[in-house]
Amino acid sequence: MSKHTYHILGVMSGTSLDGIDLAEVFFTLENRRWTYTFGVSETLPYPDTWLHRLQVALHYSPLELQQLNQDYTAYLGGVIAAFIRTHRLQALDAVCSHGHTILHQPQNGYTLQIGNLPEIASYCQQTVVCDFRVQDVERGGQGAPLVPIGDRMLFSAYTYCLNLGGFSNVSFEHQQHRIAFDISPVNTVLNHYAVQLGMAYDAGGERAAGGTLSPELLDALNGLEYYTQPFPKSLGVEFVREKVLPLMQRFNPAPEDALRTFVEHIAQQIARALPLAQGRLLITGGGAYNHFLLQRMQAYLPEMTLIVPDNTTLEFKEALIFGLLGVLRLREEINVLSSVTGAHDDHCSGKVYPWKG
């Protein structure tokens, strides 16, 4: 394909339910290297009604999930259309949207990201590239993480790229292959206990810093089977609901103590996940604002340089990279790495819904 510049809107909704990230991005391909610049970007929080539906959707019946998918596709399409109108975006090549993960069970050959129905193109009146994970699972992969190919193409100056969102995940080069995997829960657990303190999240990790570490709970968390499994591997909210929270509830910690102990758990698991404990570690995602977590990570990684980028990159890196995945899909080029997901081969994933208006 001869086209070398793309005007894209990247859209991401993470498991931490912070809201919908929308980022206008301009991509340029020159000398076989991709570069980007951000345009306007914004995170739109979910209204309480949608927040509740997404929180309880794990327990929905198949029929309820079908209705949820239809409703969320209409809602997401409307959010995207409003963003485009508000910021007067013109001549977009595509909207590239992740959707919102409800179920992720690659071991059962199944993953569900709602908001990826064909009607979304009509709702936002744009060509839409979306539903990137299903094809990888069908090819024997984990369907996650998908961001690492973007890490390789856009952030190769860093030894490791770490995202601290609903879960932590890392990507890096290993024996001439890109390797990536989910490390542990982060905000899916921290926000659960922050809510018990009357807060949506623990700003800066201040309440965690004031809590008391429980060595017994920490040992139990570190003993979860997932942490002994080799990569490729990935996590979903089922792991938190079925494994982590029931375990923590058995110890009945005060919310501050739960926060303190889980921050230590996150920091320890990140340090254990990195094969070389030195270099440059790029940290993005909402957890990068948790100063106490970063302090505990630095304590376990004293020779590592922790780098938190500008706020736009920090908050919208996943929307940016799903924009790139969409561009690669439009170009019919590889956008999923089998070395990361465990699929049978590298492949080009995602569905394209043209807007014919």
Same domain, 108 and 231: no
Q: What is the spatial distance between Cα 231 and Cα 234, in angstroms, rounded to a whole number?
A: 8
Same domain, 75 and 159: no
- Asked if the structure places residue 340 within a domain, the reply is no
Same domain, 134 and 45: yes
Q: Considering its fold, how many domains does the chain have in total?
A: 2
Half-sphere exposure of 206 toward its Cβ, with a 13 Å CA cutoff?
Answer: 6
- Name which of 269, 263, 283 is nearest 207 in CA terms: 263
**pLDDT tens for the chain, residues 1 to 357:** 568 999 999 999 987 788 999 999 999 999 999 999 999 999 999 999 999 999 999 889 999 999 999 999 999 999 999 999 999 999 999 999 999 999 888 888 889 999 999 999 999 999 999 999 999 999 999 998 899 999 999 999 999 999 999 999 999 999 889 999 999 999 999 999 999 999 999 999 999 999 999 999 999 999 999 999 998 888 888 999 999 999 999 999 999 999 999 999 999 999 999 999 999 999 999 999 999 999 999 999 999 999 999 999 999 999 999 999 999 999 999 999 999 999 999 999 999 999 987
- Asked if the structure places residue 11 within a domain, the reply is yes
- Asked if the structure places residue 161 within a domain, the reply is yes
Task: Calculate the CA 2 to chain-centre distance.
Answer: 31
Q: Are strands 160-164 and 167-174 parallel, antiparallel or unpaired?
A: antiparallel
- Asked if the structure places residue 317 within a domain, the reply is no
- Asked if the structure places residue 338 within a domain, the reply is no
Same domain, 36 and 103: yes
Same domain, 98 and 169: no
User: At 193, phi and psi to the nearest 5?
Assistant: -80, -30
Same domain, 125 and 169: no
Same domain, 133 and 160: no
Q: What is the spatial distance between Cα 8 and Cα 324, in angstroms, rounded to a whole number?
A: 8
**pLDDT given for residue 179 in this prediction:** 93
Same domain, 248 and 282: yes
User: Could you tell me which residues are beta bridge partners of residue 178?
Assistant: 173
Same domain, 235 and 103: no
- Name which of 320, 202, 316 is nearest 262 in CA terms: 202
Q: Are strands 304-307 and 279-284 parallel, antiparallel or unpaired?
A: parallel
Has this prediction a pTM greater than 0.85?
yes
CATH of residue 210: 3.30.420.40
Same domain, 157 and 124: no
Task: Calculate the CA 284 to chain-centre distance.
Answer: 10
Alpha helices in 142-254 (DSSP H): 148-154, 187-196, 206-209, 215-222, 237-239, 245-251
- Asked if the structure places residue 342 within a domain, the reply is no
Same domain, 117 and 175: no
Domain range for residue 202? 148-312
- Asked if the structure places residue 260 within a domain, the reply is yes
**pLDDT given for residue 75 in this prediction:** 98
For the four alpha carbons of 46, 171, 344 and 333, in that order, the dihedral sign comes to positive
- Asked if the structure places residue 254 within a domain, the reply is yes
Q: What is the spatial distance between Cα 161 and Cα 155, in angstroms, rounded to a whole number?
A: 8
**pLDDT given for residue 2 in this prediction:** 67
- Name which of 209, 203, 296 is nearest 260 in CA terms: 209
Same domain, 152 and 127: no
